[in-house]
Structures are given as C-alpha cells and as structure tokens.
Amino acid sequence: MHYLRSFLHYLRAEVFVLPTRIIAVAFVIALLILPLFTQDPYLLRMLILASVFAIYATSWDILAGYAGQISLGHALFFGTGAYTTALLGLHLGLPPSLTVPLGAVAATLAGLAVGIPCLRLRKHYLALATLAFPLMLTGLVFMFPGFSGGEGGIWRIARLAATRVGEYYLIVGTMLAVVLILWRIAGSRVGLIFHAIREDEVAARALGINTIRYKLLAFAISGFTAGVAGALYAHVTRIAGPSNLNLFMSFQPIIWTIFGGVATVYGPVTGVFILYPALDLLHVVLPQYRMLIFALLVLFILRFMPQGVTTWVRDRIERVCPSCRVRNVATRRTCRACGAELRD
C-alpha cells in the first residue's frame, strides 16, 4: 500500500506534469498491450522491425549525437552483429540465446577496433574514415564466399521464439530495456562528459577528462547496442547478407536520428516509429513511388523543423524556466519547481 501510494505520487509529481512524459509513458503502454487487441502478423512484424531499428538508431545517437563522433559507417557494427550470430549458428549450431550476446560482443570489439585507429581523427575526417570500414568488410565477405555465404548471404537463421507474439514481446522488451539503459547513461555523468567532448574536446581534456577513454567508451557502448540490433535483425529476417553492410544501412540510422531529433535518445526512437511504418505503408499503397515520397517527406520536414521532430514539438508544448532550468508545460504561468514567472 505504501509503495502504491508513493508510486502514484511519483506519477503525479514527475510524469503527469509534462506532456512529453505522458506521451512517452502512453507509447510504452500501447506497445506492451497491443497484442491483446490484434495479432495481425503484418502489423506485429512491422513493429518488431521498427523496434530493432530503434535500438540501431539510438546506438548512433549515443556515439554521434552525444559524443560527437559522427560515424557514417554504422553498418559495420550492425553487420558484425548480424554476421557473427549467423556464422555461429551456421558453423557451430549454437542457439540464439548464446549467439545474440556473442554478436553484440563482437560488435563491441569492432567498435574498439575502429575507435582506436580513429582517435586522432576529428569531425569530417572521422566521419569519412568510419564510412570506409563496412565497405572494407563487404570486400572480405565477397573474398571468402564459402565461409561467409558471399553475395547471397546466410539463409534460414534460427527463429527467436516459436510464435510471432513471443518474438514481439522479446524484441519490444529488449528495445525498451536498451533504450532505458541508454537514456540513463545519457543522463548520467558519462553523458555529460560526452556532451563536453562533442562541444570542445580540447577544453574537456583541459578539465582533466580522459577524453581518449570516454571516446572509446562511446564507441564500445554504441558498437554493443548496434550489434544487438544487428543480431536481432538477422534472427527476425532469418538472413544475414551483404545488404546489412551497405551504404544505405549506414545512412538509415542517421536519417532516423536527425529526423527525430539528435542527442535526445527518444528522438531516434520517435524517428524510427514515424518513418519506418510510413515507408512500409507507402510500400503497400504506392510501391513505385515509396522512396520518392519518403525523400520528399524528409526534405520538407527538415526544411521546417531543422532540429528534428521531437525537438520542434517539445519546444511548442513545453517551456524552460528561465531561473532554474526546469521544464514546464507551455500553459503554466509560473515554474512548477521554483515559482518564478514564465514569460513569453
């Protein structure tokens, strides 16, 4: 009873005061109870893939949005995760419960392997050096077709769960857990240091921050998360192929993240859950023009909301208190924390 009361108090004091938090909680609840109302396989599959891509997009946001290490080759981590889980399943016959974590570990190692040589590179040089790695790995995949499946990829990877609903809960649960952990990391001291490194690396180092360690940490976290996404993707689509490593796969998380709002964690999730179903719907309605409309949609929305959708919406419905920096509903006259007057 006591816990219930404190929980209700927490909801009232911390969640229901801000519209964005209400939206976030409502979104999570809706995702969790959806299979109770409909078990349409098409809809479930779409949401499963959207959840996998949400993990992938958020991993890009941690590395590029927070730590400022813009990676144009994020497909390296995604593809490493996918290929590791597929190869372990194919050659050693291991179950998914083992191969998915191993895929994520392999992607973490890939993150460190890319991060270490790239430590000296800044900004655009780093972005373009990272662009190179997945394409070089693609070259390796084509060189050893007997081992890696070559151009056709690896087929018939094991399913994660026997039923579609089981798979749905497994993946949506993983997505929510990963996003929550990343959100906590981003809000912690580590996240603050990532911000500092992005804004001014030299100044951060002058403050005594070991920027090398934190940059590698960003690469490792991001690689691990993207590896989880890649491994899950391989099990959901049941194929791992060179398309997991191509240029478009590297660009996709960037589109979603910047569309949703960079350096926010919830931005990339929003971006994926808007753009991926939209693209899927267009595939059904107008297959020939779907990428055309998709590109126009991204162009126009970014033209009018250059900071991304979530940032634009948040700045319309919420306001920051000028004296204590706490966020408030736009309808309030006074700050909910310090009582200072909120001016327009």
Partner 1 sequence: MVADILVNGLVHSGVYAMLSLGFGLVFGVGRVLNLAHTAFYMIAAYGIFYLVRMGLAMPVATALTAVGVMAVGLAIYKVFIEPVREVESTVLITTLAAAILLQEVAMVLFGSELRHVPPAFPGYTLIAGVRVGNQEMATLVLAGVCLAGVWLLLSHTRLGLAIRAAAQDREVANLMGINVNRVTAIVMGLGFLLAALAGAAIAPLSPVEPQMWMHPLVIVLAAVVLGGLGSLKGSLIGAVILAFAEVVVVFLVPGGSYLRTAVALLIMVCVFLVRPEGLFGASIAEER
Give the separation between CA 47 and CA 40, rounded to whole angstroms. Answer: 11
Please give the sequence-ordered ranges of beta strands (E in DSSP) within 159-218, or none if there are none.
none
What's the CA dihedral at 41, 42, 46, 51 to 10 degrees?
0
- By the rule CB under 8 A, 206 interacts with partner 1: no
State the maximum Cα–Cα separation within the chain, in Å, rounded to a whole number.
Answer: 69
User: CA torsion sign, 115 to 118 to 120 to 126?
Assistant: negative
Nearest CA to 327 out of 4, 76, 22, 68 is that of: 22
Please identify, among the stretches 49-57, 212-220, 251-259, 328-336, the one whose residues bind partner 1 according to the rule CB under 8 A.
Answer: 251-259
* CA separation for the pair 62, 51 (Å, rounded): 17
- φ and ψ at residue 273, rounded to 5 degrees: -75, -10
Nearest distance in Å: CB 9, partner 1: 39
Does residue 9 interact with partner 1 by CB under 8 A?
no
Binding residues with partner 1: total (CB under 8 A): 42
Minimum separation from the CB atom of position 327 to partner 1 (A) = 22
- Which one of residues 185, 254, 269, 275 is an interface residue with partner 1 (CB under 8 A)? 254
Within 2-96, strands assigned E span none
Site pattern 24..53 for partner 1 (x: CB under 8 A): ------------------------------
Residues 61-80 interacting with partner 1 (rule: CB under 8 A)? 64, 70
Least distance (Å) from partner 1 to the CB of residue 11?
35
Q: Which of 120, 156, 213, 283 binds partner 1 (CB under 8 A)?
A: 120
Indicate the Cα dihedral angle 268, 137, 113, 235, nearest 10°: 50
Q: Does 138 bind partner 1 (CB under 8 A)?
A: yes
Which candidate, 86, 27, 17, places its Cα nearest to that of 237?
Answer: 86
142 is a site residue for partner 1 (CB under 8 A): yes
Give the β-pairing of 327-329 and 318-320. antiparallel
DSSP string, 294-318: HHHHHHHHHHH-TT-HHHHHHHHHE
Instruction: Establish if 117 lies at the interface with partner 1 (CB under 8 A).
Output: yes
**Single residue of 9, 91, 122, 156 touching partner 1 by CB under 8 A:** 122
Cβ atoms 41, 49 nearer than 8 A: no
Binding to partner 1, residues 273-302 (CB under 8 A): 288-289, 291-292, 294-296, 298-299, 302
**Of 247, 313, 326, 329, the one binding partner 1 by CB under 8 A:** 247
Query: Is 109 buried (19+), middle (13-18) or exposed (0-12) by CB count in 10 A?
Result: middle
Does position 129 interact with partner 1 (CB under 8 A)? The reply is yes
Among 12, 124, 156, 184, binds partner 1 (CB under 8 A): 124
Binding residues for partner 1, rule: CB under 8 A, are 64, 70, 117-118, 120-122, 124-125, 128-129, 131-133, 135-136, 138-140, 142-143, 247, 251, 254-255, 258-259, 262, 288-289, 291-292, 294-296, 298-299, 302-303, 306-308
